[in-house]
Each structure stands twice: as structure tokens, then as C-alpha cells.
Amino acid sequence: GSEKVVDHYNVMGPVKAALESAVRYLAHELGPAGIRVNAISAGPVATRAASGLTHFEELLNEAATKSPLRRTIDAREAGKAALFLASELSSGVTGEIVHVDAGFHVDGMIFH
């Protein structure tokens, strides 16, 4: 939503773009103090909260069909990425937006 237009995403696209920009600026500002700043951009995850979103089933189906891995992710996969970013394994990583979306961000989506 921050890199490509997504139908029905509405104002969340610009909001996500602002968040990603904030990550880069915070990484720049806080890096000299040894503080790393990263974010995870997760693909659609089937949760109770998400099920109330308009066209969410469509979004899940589109993601599963069009992502390079031909599936969606589950919340554990986003959690594993967070664990990596919080660990010393990523000690040289800052200012990054890590996509955990089965590769869906590569192609994006368009509803018809």
C-alpha cells in the first residue's frame, strides 16, 4: 500500500508510506546512539480483527494467488521476523522495512 496503489486500502497507503519514512529518519537520527530502527511490513494475515475489513477475503485470495510463494503468511512468520530484528543476528540492520508477505509486495495487487 505504500509503494503501489491497492484498491480498497484508502488512506492506509499514505499512512503506511509515512510510517516507512519515519523508520528511515529514526534510524538516521538514532543510529549514532547505537539504536537500530526497523519495521515489518506483513502481508494480509487471517485474524479475527481483519475478517471485519471490507473485501478482506478478496485480499487474502489475491495474495495467495499472486504471491511468489503462492500462499499467505500466518502471524507466526511475522513474529519470527520480529525476533530476528530484535536479536543480535540483525546487529548490522537498521532503517529497513522487512516484507513478510510471501513475496506479494513484488507484484502488488489490483481488484477488478
3-class DSSP assignment, residue 78: helix
25 in active site: no
Catalytic residue among 4, 16, 25, 66: 16
- Rounded Cα distance, 34 and 15, in Å: 27
Catalytic residue among 9, 25, 66, 80: 9
9 in active site: yes
Looking up cell 520480529, which residue turns up? Answer: 82
- 40, β-bridge pairs: 98
* Residues designated as active site: 9, 16
